[in-house]
C-alpha cells in the first residue's frame, strides 16, 4: 500500500466541505489560490508553525494538534480585530511513517481542523506537503474595514490595561505533563484546545488603542505593546485573573503566579483602552460573555513595573517563551 503526496492532498480535499465563498475565485488544486477582497477592506495575514517536540509532544492526539494550529492563528487575527477568511496549510510528515500511519494521522488532524475552521467561517484554500520532521504551518488571512485594525503601537499614558478571561492554566498543564504529575482535564483542555477570542477582538475595534494575544506570557507580550507604543506600564499582580482550576492544581503560590505572569499558550487578549472607552469595552466584553479584568495602567515612563495591591513595587521574573536564547 502506498500513500503519496497526491493521495495526501486528495484526502485533505475530500475532508473539506464545499465552499460557497463568492470571494474565493480559485481554491485548492492549482499552483496558487485566487481571492477577491471586498472593496474598502484590508487583509490581515498571520502565520504560525508548530513543531513536534517544541510546540507539542510527538505522541499528542493529531486532532488536538489540528485544533490548536488553527486556534493560535485565529488568536493573532483576534488581536488585530480581524474577521477570519482563508488559510493555507503546510504539512511535513515523517518519511518513515507507513502509509496507514500517514492516512490515520491525517484523518485525525482534519477532525481537529475542520470544526474550528467551520465555526469561524475560515476556508482552506491551499498549502504544501512534504516529508521531514513532523511540522505544521498555517497561514491565516483575515480582513478588517480599511484603517480599523488594532495594532500594538497605539497605547498612550493613562490607558487601562485589560485582560480577557484568565491566564496560567496552559502553563500549569504543561508544567505538570513535563514533571509526570496528574493534570486535570480542565487544564489539559486549556493547553490543547485554546479558544481564540475573535468575537471580543472584533468588538474592541475602535475602542482599544493597542492589543496583543497572550501566547508567550502576559508580561512578555505586554512588553511588546510597550516597546511598539514607546510607553511604560504598571501592573498589579494581584489583579491578574487566575482560574479556580489553576488554584486547585496543587501548586504553591509562587509557581501559580509564575504560570499566570510568564507562562504562555492561554491565547487571551491583553488590550489598552482609554478612559473614554472603558465602559464601552467592558460592556462589549459582557456582550461576548467574556470577563475583562483591569490589571494596570499605561504610563509615560518607559519600563514595566509590577506592583502589589498597595502600589508597592515587587520584583518578578518578566521573561516569557523564547525560541532562541543564550
Task: Give, for 303, the enclosing helix (H) or strand (E).
Answer: strand 303-307
Band (269; pLDDT cuts 50, 70, 90): very high
**Secondary structure E strands in 123-268:** 123-131, 135-145, 160-164, 210-213, 232-236
CA atoms of 218 and 316, how far apart (whole Å): 12
Residues 6+ apart with CB under 8 A from 290: 164, 165, 197, 199, 200
**Range with lowest mean pLDDT among 128-132, 201-205, 250-254, 320-324:** 320-324
Q: DSSP secondary structure string, 135-164?
A: EEEEEEEEEEETT----SS---TTPEEEEE
Average pLDDT over every residue of 152-168? 97
Question: With contact defined as beta carbons under 8 Å apart, do 86 and 27 qualify?
Answer: no
**How confident is the model at residue 287, as a pLDDT?**
97
pLDDT above 60 for 3: no
Instruction: Provide CATH code, domain 5-145.
Output: 3.30.1330.10
- The more confident residue out of 13 and 287 is 287
Average pLDDT over every residue of 136-153? 97
Question: Best-predicted range by mean pLDDT among 197-201, 242-246, 261-265, 309-313?
Answer: 197-201
- Kindly list the domain boundaries of the chain, sorted by start residue: 5-145, 160-307
Domains 5-145 and 160-307 alike in fold = no
**How confident is the model at residue 1, as a pLDDT?**
46
**How confident is the model at residue 18, as a pLDDT?**
61
**Range with lowest mean pLDDT among 242-246, 247-251, 284-288, 294-298:** 247-251
- The more confident residue out of 10 and 107 is 107
Q: What are the grid coordinates assigned to 23, written together? A: 470571494
pLDDT in tens, 39-69: 999 999 999 999 988 888 888 999 999 999 9
> In the predicted model, what is the mean pLDDT of the chain?
89
**How confident is the model at residue 32, as a pLDDT?**
85
pLDDT above 60 for 2: no
Band (323; pLDDT cuts 50, 70, 90): very low
Average pLDDT over every residue of 157-184? 93
pLDDT above 70 for 324: no
Q: 160-307 falls under which CATH superfamily? A: PurM-like C-terminal domain (3.90.650.10)
Amino acid at each position: 500500500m502506498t500513500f503519496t503526496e497526491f493521495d495526501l492532498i486528495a484526502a485533505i480535499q475530500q475532508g473539506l466541505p464545499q465552499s460557497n465563498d463568492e470571494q474565493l475565485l480559485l481554491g485548492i488544486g492549482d499552483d496558487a489560490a485566487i481571492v477577491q477582497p471586498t472593496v474598502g477592506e484590508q487583509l490581515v495575514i498571520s502565520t504560525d508553525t508548530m513543531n513536534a517536540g517544541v510546540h507539542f509532544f510527538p505522541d499528542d492526539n493529531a486532532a488536538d494538534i489540528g485544533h490548536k494550529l488553527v486556534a493560535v492563528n485565529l488568536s493573532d487575527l483576534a488581536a488585530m480585530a480581524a474577521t477570519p477568511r482563508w488559510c493555507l496549510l503546510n504539512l511535513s510528515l515523517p518519511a518513515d511513517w507507513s502509509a496507514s500511519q500517514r492516512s490515520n494521522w491525517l484523518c485525525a488532524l482534519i477532525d481537529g481542523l475542520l470544526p474550528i475552521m467551520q465555526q469561524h467561517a475560515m476556508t482552506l484554500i491551499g498549502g504544501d506537503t512534504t516529508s521531514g520532521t513532523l511540522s505544521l504551518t498555517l497561514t491565516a488571512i483575515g480582513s478588517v474595514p480599511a484603517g480599523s485594525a488594532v495594532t500594538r503601537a497605539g497605547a498612550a499614558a493613562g490607558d487601562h490595561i485589560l485582560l480577557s478571561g484568565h491566564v496560567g492554566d496552559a502553563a500549569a498543564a504543561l508544567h505538570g505533563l513535563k514533571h509526570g504529575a496528574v493534570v486535570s482535564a480542565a487544564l489539559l483542555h486549556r493547553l490543547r484546545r485554546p479558544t481564540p477570542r475573535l468575537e471580543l477582538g472584533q468588538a474592541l475595534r475602535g475602542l482599544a488603542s493597542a492589543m496583543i494575544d497572550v501566547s508567550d506570557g502576559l508580561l512578555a507580550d505586554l512588553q511588546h505593546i510597550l516597546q511598539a507604543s514607546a510607553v511604560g506600564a504598571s501592573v498589579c499582580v494581584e489583579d491578574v485573573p487566575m482560574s479556580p482550576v489553576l488554584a486547585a492544581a496543587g501548586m504553591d503560590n509562587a509557581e501559580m503566579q509564575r504560570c499566570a505572569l510568564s507562562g504562555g499558550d492561554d491565547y487571551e487578549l491583553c488590550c489598552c483602552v482609554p478612559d473614554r472607552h472603558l465602559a464601552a469595552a467592558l460592556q462589549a466584553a459582557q456582550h461576548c460573555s467574556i470577563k475583562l479584568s483591569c490589571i494596570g495602567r499605561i504610563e509615560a515612563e518607559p519600563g514595566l513595573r509590577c506592583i502589589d495591591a498597595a502600589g508597592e513595587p515587587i520584583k518578578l521574573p518578566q521573561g516569557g517563551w523564547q525560541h532562541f536564547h543564550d
